[in-house]
Amino acid sequence: MKKHKKVAIYPGSFDPVTNGHIDILERSKKLFDKVICAVGVNSSKNPLFSLEEKLDMLYHTVPEGVGIDRFDGLLVDYAKKVKKDYKAKQMIIIRGLRLTTDFEYEDLMFFNNAKLDSSIETIFLPSKQELLHINSSIVRDVAKMNKDYIKDLDVPDYVKKKLIEFVKYGKK
């Protein structure tokens, strides 16, 4: 495997990926030698899409050059594994920040991850103003409650197609 100095992981549930996530990935690509978008498990969430469906949506939408992966267990353990695989000098966790309401939760996540492994750095990227409103729960709600609004959602076209399939055929 190629050596990369600064490897960044962008972890999340991506249920589904939105234009907000894509924007963070596009900007992160310019900052690090390698960026990996990694689907993890948030044990407090009940996903709409299966892991395979989430990965499929990412394969069709993330910017060129961004790696796609999945992980079980703790994020810091996954970051350690990636560090070894890529022979990385520095591992970075990227998290997007939209509103100040995100901050408390993200700060807590940062403190906990830093306590588990202080060598892994966390970087917060603010969302673009025009994408502050979007999150995956809103997307899931629209798909479940009123399909007429799917066309207006700030998600990639491929995700819209998958949301329409969900409305037609239900949860797999």
Query: CA distances (Å), 63 to each of 19, 84, 133, in order?
Result: 11, 24, 22
Q: Between 7 and 75, whose beta carbon lies closer to ligand COA?
A: 75
What span, in angstroms and rounded, lies between the C-alpha atoms of 39 and 103? 21
Kindly report the backbone phi and psi dihedral angles of residue 158, in degrees, each rounded to the nearest multiple of 5, phi listed first: -65, -35
Long-range contacts of 148-153 (CB under 8 A, 24+ apart): 153/18
Q: Between 1 and 100, whose beta carbon lies closer to ligand COA?
A: 100
Least CB distance from residue 21 to ligand COA, whole Å?
Answer: 5
- Catalytic, 151? Answer no
Catalytic residue among 54, 83, 95, 98: 98
Q: Which residues bind ligand COA (CB under 6 A)?
A: 11-13, 15, 18, 20-21, 24, 40-42, 45, 74-75, 96, 98, 109, 112-113, 127, 131, 134-137
Q: Is the dihedral of CA 47, 57, 154, 95 positive or negative?
A: positive
- Catalytic, 115? Answer no
- Catalytic, 98? Answer yes
Other Cβ atoms closer than 10 A to 124: 15
Catalytic residue among 95, 136, 140, 162: 136
- Catalytic, 21? Answer yes
> What positions carry a catalytic annotation?
21, 45, 98, 136
